[in-house]
Structure 1
Amino acid sequence: MDLAVGLAVLRADCDWPAGAGGRLWDREAANGGILLEPLLIGNKMEKCAEVGSSKKTSDMDMMKSKPKTTGESIDSSININDEAAAPPSPSHSPPPAKPQLPMIPVPLALQIVLTETARSIYHQEASHVSVSSHEMLLGRASAEDLRAPEPGYLDYNASIMDGYAIRTGDLDDARTQYGRLSRDEKKTFVLSFDLVGRVYAGDDGAGEIASSKRPAIYITTGAVVPDGYDAVVPIEETEAKDSSTVQIVSSHVESVLDTKPMTWVRPIGCDIAAGSVVLARGEIVQPVHVALAAQVGLRLADIKVRRLPRIGVLSTGNELTPAFGQPTKIGQGKIPDVNRPMLLTQLAAYGNCIPVDLGIVSDEDSSSISKLLDDALWSESCTENVDVLVTTGGISMGEKDVMAKVFVEGMNGKLHFGRMNMKPGKPTTFITIDRKSDQGAMRRKLIFALPGNPVSASVCTELLVRPCLDLIHDSVASDEDEESFVNHGADHARVHEEVMAELASDIKLDQGRPEYRRVALRRMASADGPSQYTYQATSTGVQRSSRVMSLRGADGLMILPRGGSRGCGFDVATKGMQFPVLLLRPLSSNSRTCFKDSMHHASWKSKSESRQQNQKSNLRLGIIICQPEGQNRSGDVAEILSKLGPVEVSTTCELPKTGELGNALRDAINGADMKDTNTIFVVVPSSTNRIFKLGIEVSHCLRQVISKPATSVALKMRKIAASCDKLAGLFENTVGTVRDGSAVVVSCTDIGLAQTADSMKPLLCHTVSLLDR
């Protein structure tokens, strides 16, 4: 048998993906990484082919009988038709298959990263630094509490108004005299002060207190209120009679006489009390903190911030040439190194690290790569080793994908995961390398081996590396035990802010993995009120992992579920459906989302947990049975549908005369019995003589009631039902919203209903969840 033919048959009949390295995969392998036993290649090919269907035999015979125009070179070295053929030469043998690692959900991968990062922080001594300019403080994490020194701010009594500083005790005699006057006499009462000095903002306020009976000092806003003076009269309430006398306007005499101490005066420490924390340990420095530190009189040397982690970026691949250099010749198989400049600038924009360019290395020699990385991570001659390392390329299943081997075998690293259940970025690998210092303290390096395609590298940096760096940057020392520190650190780690956004157009879902689709967001006013907003997401175009243009204009990553019967239950996410979006830029500098509180984390559940959760369905069912008078199948249908959720009401709609069915259905759907339901099944029993004709009539009537049809959902339901029973494919299903969008109505027959309902449950639950929003 020709080897090429054998491979084709094996791939076709044994679900063996190209490049799988001679191993047999079941259909779950592409989703969960379940690998079956290896199959031998060569003289055992015929036995492998027997795994396939027998109908392939004739195809193979026909192909073997044809003249060989291609593939002669293969037969010259591997002639599996010749029983005496020698085993293949090692130089032409296929590379040994790499073991497949389990494919884990992205939130689980992020939890592992955060947990191991927090463990690394626990064992490292905190390092503090000062900066040389206030601009360099922005975005840094404070290493300690910063408190206002004595006496606080302000450190003097300051005038709030332009006016005259007075002594309220000097008003006692005038108050007594004024109180004895009649109403008419009070109108002519004169209250005046002797002007004894002037104090302007910036003066020391050492004004002389004259021997005058009622002195006053002219003062400007912000100026020091001289000792002995305890209030300010606004200039608007006075009039100058001459250069030495100030008189109170008659209409303000009574209010001035009632002046209390410290009126229109900011006392010492009123803005910031002595000892107040102006910048807390672990707080991220913002412009307001710079202002507060300056206001209380601190120096730059007084402000300690955490040392930024250093992160190395390395590109691997023989095909790479330095970016922004001389253009490569067309057709030479070379491409510019996009990943390194992209990630270096992306990391720099985070503001939580110091990116270090480690260049490009060939993937030919793993030992030279190990030496380079060992120097970058541990070399004593290097005063600034990197704390975190990001590599791109060399981590897939190819013969030259050697990075995992470099870190695990060459550098004794610990592999935590090697595949993520996502698109793009499935081969992403996370490794930690621990070594003890000369003093016996543990030193840990965090390694992110990312895919070579630039979009995958950028997205995975955003999803995993950024939260890791934020945790290193933000964390502070603690007296907790290790496990408590690690768990608290991972749970409270800062992650992406999230919003729910509705799709602007239909999107076909990937049948194998969840997708982190790049989208542009548009904020729109909500119908709930002028202060409420919703978000609409528009895809950035083709989402191929090599297409960097899909990152251009992206505001976030929309988390789309895996499609199909083994995923969310539907193939297309239709316009208007809502899904969570991880924002690439925060809504504000003070906003913060913790990992344990994020929607992304909440979405992470095992299949069994998801199924258990689905059993606690949000569906509240109502059932309407359309049947001739005297028949009653409602009990059977209710028992089948009870697996979806609680059946609030099950009723029958006896077939009325022609032309009245629509009114009967409308009354049943809007009736009081159905008020607590959000999903209404209108079922035509198979026992009805004219089931298919009646199904058409029911669908026609429901279309008059439905406010928003869901045609794709109805077609999906029909397809599932037909796969259970071909007769069910003849029934016309209808799905849509009714009762002003507060409920979903579904018309169906009871043929294959149990299987159909079970498959449709995730889609129905998702649809109903949107009704409440």
Structure 2
Amino acid sequence: MASKVEVPCIKVAILTVSDRCHAKKAEDKSGSKLRQLISENIFFPGQVVHQDCVPDEVNAIKEKLLAWADSKEVDLILTTGGTGFSPRDVTPEATREILDREAPGLNIAMVTSSLEITPLAMLSRPSCGIRGGTLIVNLPGSSKAATECLRFVAGALPHAVDLLQGRMDTVEVTHREMQVAVAMKEVRDKASPLREAPPSVTKPHIHRSNSLVDETQVANRLRKSPFPMISVAAAVDIVLKEADMLNTHVISYKDALGHVLADDVYAKDALPPFPASVKDGYAVVAADGAGNRKVLGHSTAGSKPDFGEVIPGHCIRISTGAPVPKGADAVIEVEQTELVKSADEGRTELEVKILHPPTIGQDIRPVGCDIKANNKVLSAQSWIGPSEVGLLATIGVTKVKVYKKPVVAIVSTGNELVDPGVQLKRGQIRDSNRCMIESLLEQGNFEVIDMGIIKDTPGSILEALTNAMEKADVVVTTGGVSMGEKDLLKQVLQIDLRARIHFGRVFMKPGKPTTFATVNTEIGKKLFFCLPGNPVSAMVTCNLYVVPALRKLSSRLRARNTIIKAKLGFTIDLDPRPEYHRAIVSWVEGDDLPVGETTGVQDSSRLLSTRSANGLLLLPAKTDEQASLPAGHVVDCMIIGRM
């Protein structure tokens, strides 16, 4: 089972060291940028609890560092500025004076990584260390350099803070993840030892993978997955925890379908804005009772009235939705009247007979009976469907603030794959995964980008994932996550993209090698769902993990899939793993529960097993006590289509 340990939020203080910024002669861009990165959880879960600016003076710097570190309210202090060669660059000296212990590894990591960007990094003099339970890190003064140096060490900072704060449960989880990474690296090192590049080799292209795997060393490939097996429930919990709601924007009501409202919506006007007739008939004075009435004119919806006030003994012909004229307090439907007198060969009514006495208010919609002016019509977090779009139009709200919906990039991996329209050659198969997943997600009203098919090489995978990450919030891949020598996705994610792989195996059938990872970037967190290549596995796991995550990113209140009870329409032998059995679910007349009928052979490569399937029957794992389930047995069923 996966650990349920929560990732603690690091309490951060930011200190800008600058004479000019302190004197308000320059803008504190570095401090503002660091605050933005931390507030948006770009590098780690963080919260800025203090921020200040001091001049380049040792005592001023020391005073602020001591106050924050000794308050026991701050986990991490980031300073920016004062680490260079200028006579007034004294931040490292001031920092060292108050440290209990130094942390030179952080200094080395920042300077070494910075040297790959500019040789001038050798002139940087950061000092990092510990005071009490607080970690202090010196960063350069420029916004760009401060951001880069923080990125270089950010991966180690949460673990360092956990150690300082004694959070041993979180420390143990991190150690287990490191052991997985080490195990994978050991296998890669055996497969392809590091070799020094000849002097003529130039700096690699940004999409050149750093993977150390020699794909020709098949015998030395990894033979056991280093990733622990977790349950589906634990996997779903992890996915939803990592899927943060996206930002908001203002759009036209016509484009709002499928979005979630970010603000409450209020009616500008009452509905109806005037007393309106419910039926076609005559507006009358109720006190007149039954009997003959002279017709003064007519009132139709949207037209200018050709009459004055209704007086006793008279009436106005009126249509459904039209304004009820002054003086009238009831409407009598046309079916309850008789024509008495007409003119112009029947074109004009002069007098009618009311057959039944009306009551006051009969068939009249009073002002605001549907919606009162300034009433809240839709609440924030409401999902906008067709009816909600109609409501927005009705109350005249043409612009609404909504949460953005995620953009999803879909990639298929596999040397054997070709597009559907290609004539097959020996060893090739047509790619059905992209169009299937694209249709599944578009059915949920999500925007999808088709990134095509990529080859099973580290460089191709890195280039495709990098491009997808730039264009989308979520990247969905199929294939390349099992134990074959060409299954390279996990290592490219870990080594090249520095992704955090949250899980790499799930106890389920089909879909065991499903992998979920996240990458923190300066423009936000990116979610990676690496689904198995078998079409059925891809479809099932997309429903289980991707669809709920997209709902959560869109700010839907109910992100999880709908689960109902259903009866088995067949007898089935259970599998050692919990199975998600494709089924056609329908109600039988007179039965209290729907019945799930199998779609046939459930092999993960057999796409026919998904045909007409609208449910996944959640079958338990086989045990010594229970090896099969009989027809009529009640199980949970996940709804994935129309019933």
Which position in structure 2 is the counterpart of 1:307? Answer: 404
Distance 1:145 1:467 in 2: 24
**Which of the numbers 134, 140, 148 marks the counterpart of 2:267?**
148
Structure 1 418/158 Cα, relative in aligned 2: closer, same or farther at 3 Å? same
**Which of the numbers 416, 428, 440 marks the counterpart of 1:319?**
416
- State whether residues 614 and 642 of structure 2, in contact with CA within 8 Å, keep that contact through their aligned partners in structure 1: no
Distance 2:217 2:256 in 1: 59
Which position in structure 1 is the counterpart of 2:236? Answer: 110
**Which of the numbers 614, 617, 627 marks the counterpart of 1:555?**
614
Structure 1 191/563 Cα, relative in aligned 2: closer, same or farther at 3 Å? closer
**Which of the numbers 592, 596, 600 marks the counterpart of 1:537?**
596
Structure 1 199/322 Cα, relative in aligned 2: closer, same or farther at 3 Å? closer
Identify, as 1 or 2, the structure richer in helix.
1
Letter in 2 for 1:421: F
Distance 1:392 1:241 in 2: 78
- State whether residues 238 and 246 of structure 1, in contact with CA within 8 Å, keep that contact through their aligned partners in structure 2: no
Distance 2:525 2:515 in 1: 17
Matches within 5 A, 1:276-355: 276-296=375-395, 298=396, 301-325=398-422, 327-329=423-425, 332-351=426-445, 353-355=446-448
Distance 2:416 2:340 in 1: 91
Cα offsets for 1:695-738 (capped at 9, x unmatched): xxxxxxxxxxxxxxxxxxxxxxxxxxxxxxxxxxxxxxxxxxxx
- Give the count of matched residue pairs: 428
Cα offsets for 1:67-103 (capped at 9, x unmatched): xxxxxxxxxxxxxxxxxxxxxxx96853355552111
Distance 1:545 1:213 in 2: 80
Question: 1:421: how far off?
Answer: 0.2
Distance 2:594 2:460 in 1: 50
Structure 1 208/111 Cα, relative in aligned 2: closer, same or farther at 3 Å? same
- State whether residues 205 and 225 of structure 1, in contact with CA within 8 Å, keep that contact through their aligned partners in structure 2: no
Structure 1 161/312 Cα, relative in aligned 2: closer, same or farther at 3 Å? closer
Aligned-partner SS, 2:260: coil
Letter in 2 for 1:500: K
Letter in 2 for 1:435: T
Letter in 1 for 2:390: A
The structure number with the bigger radius of gyration is 1
Letter in 2 for 1:149: K
- State whether residues 314 and 361 of structure 1, in contact with CA within 8 Å, keep that contact through their aligned partners in structure 2: yes
Distance 1:339 1:240 in 2: 69
Alignment partner of 1:274 is 2:373: yes
Distance 2:498 2:393 in 1: 49
Alignment partner of 1:515 is 2:570: no
Distance 1:496 1:396 in 2: 26
Structure 1 286/96 Cα, relative in aligned 2: closer, same or farther at 3 Å? closer
Alignment partner of 1:454 is 2:547: no
Which position in structure 2 is the counterpart of 1:401? Answer: 487
Structure 1 137/129 Cα, relative in aligned 2: closer, same or farther at 3 Å? closer
- State whether residues 496 and 586 of structure 1, in contact with CA within 8 Å, keep that contact through their aligned partners in structure 2: no
Distance 2:338 2:594 in 1: 60
- State whether residues 367 and 410 of structure 1, in contact with CA within 8 Å, keep that contact through their aligned partners in structure 2: no
Which position in structure 2 is the counterpart of 1:28? Answer: none
**Which of the numbers 557, 565, 572 marks the counterpart of 1:500?**
565
Structure 1 102/288 Cα, relative in aligned 2: closer, same or farther at 3 Å? same
Cα offsets for 1:670-705 (capped at 9, x unmatched): xxxxxxxxxxxxxxxxxxxxxxxxxxxxxxxxxxxx
**Which of the numbers 297, 309, 325 marks the counterpart of 1:197?**
297
Aligned-partner SS, 2:302: coil
Letter in 2 for 1:514: P
Distance 1:224 1:92 in 2: 82
TM-score by length of structure 2 reads: 0.61
Letter in 1 for 2:297: G
TM-score by length of structure 1 reads: 0.51
- State whether residues 565 and 636 of structure 2, in contact with CA within 8 Å, keep that contact through their aligned partners in structure 1: yes
- State whether residues 578 and 621 of structure 2, in contact with CA within 8 Å, keep that contact through their aligned partners in structure 1: yes
Structure 1 447/194 Cα, relative in aligned 2: closer, same or farther at 3 Å? same
Question: 1:543: how far off?
Answer: 1.2
Alignment partner of 1:372 is 2:464: yes
Structure 1 248/576 Cα, relative in aligned 2: closer, same or farther at 3 Å? closer
Distance 1:99 1:161 in 2: 72
- State whether residues 248 and 401 of structure 2, in contact with CA within 8 Å, keep that contact through their aligned partners in structure 1: no
Which position in structure 2 is the counterpart of 1:410? Answer: 496
Distance 1:94 1:221 in 2: 81
Structure 1 96/578 Cα, relative in aligned 2: closer, same or farther at 3 Å? closer
Question: Structure 2, unaligned stretches of length 5 or more?
Answer: 1-179, 185-215, 343-348
Structure 1 463/93 Cα, relative in aligned 2: closer, same or farther at 3 Å? closer
Matches within 5 A, 1:69-218: 94-97=220-223, 99-117=225-243, 120-121=244-245, 124-130=246-252, 134=254, 137-150=256-269, 152-167=270-285, 171=287, 193-205=293-305, 207-209=307-309, 214-218=313-317
Aligned-partner SS, 1:524: coil
Distance 1:470 1:510 in 2: 31
Distance 1:92 1:225 in 2: 85
- Cα RMSD of the aligned pairs, angstroms, is 3.2
Which position in structure 2 is the counterpart of 1:725? Answer: none
Cα offsets for 1:37-88 (capped at 9, x unmatched): 99xxxxxxxxxxxxxxxxxxxxxxxxxxxxxxxxxxxxxxxxxxxxxxxxxx
Aligned-partner SS, 1:371: helix
- State whether residues 497 and 586 of structure 1, in contact with CA within 8 Å, keep that contact through their aligned partners in structure 2: no
Question: 1:114: how far off?
Answer: 0.6
Aligned-partner SS, 1:558: strand
Cα offsets for 1:626-673 (capped at 9, x unmatched): xxxxxxxxxxxxxxxxxxxxxxxxxxxxxxxxxxxxxxxxxxxxxxxx
Cα offsets for 1:423-457 (capped at 9, x unmatched): 111000110111234xxxxx100111111111111
Question: 1:166: how far off?
Answer: 3.6
Structure 1 341/194 Cα, relative in aligned 2: closer, same or farther at 3 Å? closer
Distance 1:92 1:314 in 2: 25
Distance 1:460 1:418 in 2: 13
Which position in structure 1 is the counterpart of 2:40? Answer: none
Which position in structure 2 is the counterpart of 1:683? Answer: none
- State whether residues 268 and 374 of structure 2, in contact with CA within 8 Å, keep that contact through their aligned partners in structure 1: yes
Report percent identity of matched pairs: 35
Question: 1:241: how far off?
Answer: 4.9
Alignment partner of 1:474 is 2:555: yes
Distance 1:398 1:524 in 2: 45
Question: 1:305: how far off?
Answer: 4.1
Question: 1:105: how far off?
Answer: 0.8
Distance 1:427 1:553 in 2: 26
Cα offsets for 1:292-342 (capped at 9, x unmatched): 33333x26x4244433211111111222222222x222xx32222222222
Letter in 1 for 2:443: A
Distance 1:467 1:394 in 2: 23
Question: 1:192: how far off?
Answer: 5.1
Question: 1:220: how far off?
Answer: 3.2
Which position in structure 2 is the counterpart of 1:388? Answer: 474
Distance 2:291 2:567 in 1: 70
Cα offsets for 1:443-494 (capped at 9, x unmatched): 100111111111111110011001111112234xxxxxxxxxxxxxxxx533
- State whether residues 505 and 574 of structure 1, in contact with CA within 8 Å, keep that contact through their aligned partners in structure 2: yes
Question: 1:570: how far off?
Answer: 2.0
- State whether residues 507 and 574 of structure 1, in contact with CA within 8 Å, keep that contact through their aligned partners in structure 2: yes
- State whether residues 247 and 404 of structure 2, in contact with CA within 8 Å, keep that contact through their aligned partners in structure 1: no
